[in-house]
Structure 1
Amino acid sequence: MKKNLIIISMLSMVLLLAACGSDNSEDDESYTLRLGITQNDQNAEFMGIESFKEGVEERTDGEVTVELYHSDQLASVPDLVEQASMGNSVGTISDAAMLGDLKKEFYILQSPYMFDSYDQVGELTDSELYQGWVEDFSEQGIRILSFNYYLGERNLATVDEITSAADLRSNVIRTSGAQIVDETVSAMGGSPSGMPWTEAYPGLEQGVINGVEAHNLAIYESSMYEVINHIAKTNHYQLVSALIVSEDWYDDLPEEYQEIVLEEAEKSGEVAGELALEQSEEYEELMSEYGVEFHDVDREEFRELTEQVYEKLDMTEIREEVLEVLGQ
């Protein structure tokens, strides 16, 4: 009997220690964030999240760790957004259009001809109006850490020359499939076709699509200049993306670490934005040398055509609120 009691006592101790070890493991896991993006490891987005990783890990003495994945190695952006909303310890860089599919107000950050400059985007994201959207959005399981990953102007990269809405008609243009983007391309005169970015190159090669709406970084770094001949500088919106993570992961962090994560996210967006501006100019020169022709267009024509998008998506009131923030 005494021997059995000793054995039972020892087993209980082992189980207790195992349980404690399991709890610690879960705590450690909750402090580990896996960040994945679509672009490659030479892209401004990746340089930005590298800056985020370095800053967070250094300032938390390694208590918060960030694992980085590029080129959809972890998962696609839509999948990562969904995983984050379900409470998984993941994050990504998402554009406003994709977030707008979940909360309409964010569409405004990627609406046609809404902002005249990136500074105006900053005015909005510094406002109480925007902060309210962020807090409401957290109820969907997603925490927006920063919305300042500025990646450049979105234009039309096509096989045939486009200088007007008439030229765009009958052209099938690859889009992300987000509603605001599809409606914008349609209003401009094109036929939107939602598909993964990785399918756009072969789609152009095979004649499935006639062009893409994209920014210089995405076009050049995906070698898209090999299968298009023209880029119309429509500048229909400026691509500003957000660094997002799981709300559950963020909530589990101690308050001091939350502050560090927010601060480093803001800094990382600035790093990405500065690099993106430099690369955009460099890539335009390189693509011109390759033979791609860049065309100035009558943006006012496209601006007038896309006015209908705001009414169609019931965004008139949101737009007026934003214009009030901008003092217009």
Structure 2
Amino acid sequence: MKLKKVMALTMAGAMAATTLTACGSSSSTTETTKAAETTAAAAADTTAAAAADNGSSDAETVLQVAFENSISEPVGQGWEKAQEIIKEKSGGKMAIEIYPDSQLGDKSSLIDSMLLGENVCTLADGAFYADYGVPDFGIVFGPFLFDSWDQVWKLVDSDWYKEQCGKLEEKGLKIIASNWIYGERHTLTNVPVNTVDDLKGLKIRVPSNEIQSKGFDVLGATSTGMALGDVYQALQTKTIDGAENPLATLYGRKLHEVAKYLILDGHVKNFTTWVVSADWFNSLPEEQQTWLLETAEEAGEYNNEVQQAADAEYLQKMKDEGVTVVEPSEEVLAGFKEKAQPFYEMGADFGWSDGLYDTVKKAMGAE
């Protein structure tokens, strides 16, 4: 997508220069022709550089993987690993191009592209899938739902989860992996937060979906939906008072430079999923579908190793760079969990099935 735009600009520049040559006097013809050649060469260099940056190739099938995060974060490293894996599996027939830092737009615009059948992929979660027609999926992003990662993986392996994936595919979106740890989501603010009561009235940035918005509102904060790329400036100008995300993202986006208080509340154990157009996926030969699914799964395992190793490093870096870190006691966390419970009584607001909370708790082994 990006490369096509660069190539179009290259052609436009060359054509414009050629037109000037045809219309100009004979004395300027040579100079104008040289300018056209220089413009074309420079744009060609830019195209080549862009191809090298995102891993573009001449493979017969290409998937453009785009996300709002930095390439230096574990998810970025995971997809760099995926490039190697799929090249080996497919013998070069398939390739992955990587577009970090919102280069192809935000999550919602990428998902809209998928619904048009485009060959793009992004990370998304149950909260977004709830907004795209599978309401029960949203519960996986509820505050303080999981007590351990073991409960997360048990739920992902359950029949209930498979049913939700099937419903999502009927809506046009195909999940290709659900085993990526994005991290425990913590809260970074520009004023101290030591207990759940300290969140009262604070404007906290959340991704733009209903589940995460109401999940933070119920804790006493005022949620503010916003694209990740806009958060740094919003914190800097005090348009918002804080943001929540895993440590890798908070540090990767340098948000700690403009908000100096971090509470390790772990309000969501955020496993993420990678999603593509169902129409695009189903158009692939079965062999290519298998290569892609296996690649996404194996890259997820690599991501998890990187993510777990990086968390301690990110936390120490934030401390070294002046962030005050609060590690809440079990008593304080109990206060957060108690405050969150009314969220699970709002099922009718989200269009949830009757008894969904109990169904999910049973599926993850926490009856």
User: TM-score with structure 1 length normalisation?
Assistant: 0.87
> What's 1:139 paired with?
170
Measured in 2, the distance between the counterparts of 1:169 and 1:134 equals 36
Q: Does 1:305 align with 2:335?
A: no
Specify which of 234, 249, 267 is matched with residue 218 of structure 1: 249
CA distance in 2, matches of 1:78, 1:29: 27
| Deviation at residue 54 of structure 1 after TM alignment | 2.0
* Equivalent in the alignment of 1:100: 130
The letter of the residue matching 2:270 is L
Give the deviation of 1:91 after TM superposition.
0.8
Deviations 1:12-35 (A, max 9, x none): xxxxxxxxxxxxxxxx99832111
Overall identity of the aligned pairs, in %: 28
Q: Secondary structure at the match of 2:70?
A: coil
User: Could you report, residue by residue, the CA deviation over 1:94-139 in whole angstroms, capped at 9, with x for unpaired residues?
Assistant: 1332222222222122111111122211111111211111112111
Partner of 2:314: 283
Q: Which residue of 2 aligns with 1:265?
A: 296
CA–CA separation in structure 2 for the residues paired with 1:123 and 1:129: 11
The Cα RMSD (Å) is 1.7
Which of these residues, 223, 226, 230, is aligned with residue 261 of structure 2?
230
Out of 64, 72, 81, the residue aligned to residue 102 of structure 2 is: 72
Q: Match of 1:188, SS?
A: coil
Residues 271 and 100 of structure 1, relative CA distance in 2, 3 Å threshold: farther
Contact 2:131 2:209 in 1 (8 A): yes
Q: Does 1:89 align with 2:127?
A: no
For 1:8, the equivalent position in structure 2 comes to: none
Report if aligned partners of 2:129, 2:168 keep a CA contact under 8 Å in 1.
no
Shift of 1:65: 2.1
1:42 aligns to 2:72 (yes or no): yes
| Residue identity opposite 1:306 in structure 2 | A
Alignment of 1:22-61 (within 5 A): 31-61=61-91
Q: Distance in 1 between matches of 2:287 and 2:267?
A: 40
Structure 1 gap ranges (5+): 1-27
* Pair 239,326 (structure 1): closer, same or farther in 2 beyond 3 Å: closer
| Gaps in structure 2 of 5+ consecutive residues | 1-57
Tell me, in whole angstroms, the C-alpha distance in 2 between the residues paired with 1:29 and 1:139: 29
Runs of 4+ in 1 over 6 A off after TM superposition: none
Q: Shift of the alpha carbon at 1:181?
A: 0.9
1:278-322 superposed Cα distances (whole Å, 9 cap, x missing partner) = 111101001111111111331111111111112213346222112
Higher relative contact order (CA 8 A, sep 6+): 1
Q: Residue 21 of structure 1 aligns with which residue?
A: none
Measure the CA separation in 1 of the matches of 2:130 and 2:83: 27
For 2:359, the aligned partner's letter is: E
Contact 1:109/1:240 (<8 A) preserved: no
Structure 1: which amino acid aligns with 2:149?
A: Y
Question: SS of 2:208's equivalent?
Answer: coil
8 Å CA contact 1:154–1:235 kept in 2: the answer is: yes
- Separation of aligned partners in 2, 1:100 and 1:29: 34
Q: Secondary structure of 1:306's match?
A: helix
SS state of the match for residue 324, structure 1? helix
TM score, norm. by length of structure 2: 0.78
C-alpha separation between the residues in 1 aligned to 2:294 and 2:198? Answer: 45
Partner SS for 1:245: strand
Contact 1:124/1:130 (<8 A) preserved: yes
Residue deviations 1:57-93 (CA, integer Å, cap 9, x gap): 2211222222211111122221111111221111111
Q: Does 1:322 align with 2:356?
A: no
Contact 1:163 1:295 in 2 (8 A): yes
Contact 1:219 1:225 in 2 (8 A): yes
Q: What is the distance in 2 between the residues matched to 1:287 and 1:189?
A: 26
Q: How does 1:150-189 map to 2 (within 5 A)?
A: 150-189=181-220
2: CA distance between counterparts of 1:300 and 1:30? 53
Q: Distance in 1 between matches of 2:341 and 2:114?
A: 34
Cα deviation 1:143-171 (Å, max 9, x = unaligned): 10111221211111011111123211121
Corresponding residue SS for 1:58: helix
2:180 aligned partner, one-letter code: Y
Matched-pair contact (CA < 8 Å) for 1:142–1:244: yes
Find out whether 1:195 has 2:233 as its counterpart: no
Residue deviations 1:172-226 (CA, integer Å, cap 9, x gap): 1111121111111111111111111122111111111111112111111111111
Aligned partner of 1:140: which letter? K
Three-state SS of the structure 1 residue aligned to 2:355 is helix
Which residue number in structure 1 is paired with residue 3 of structure 2? none
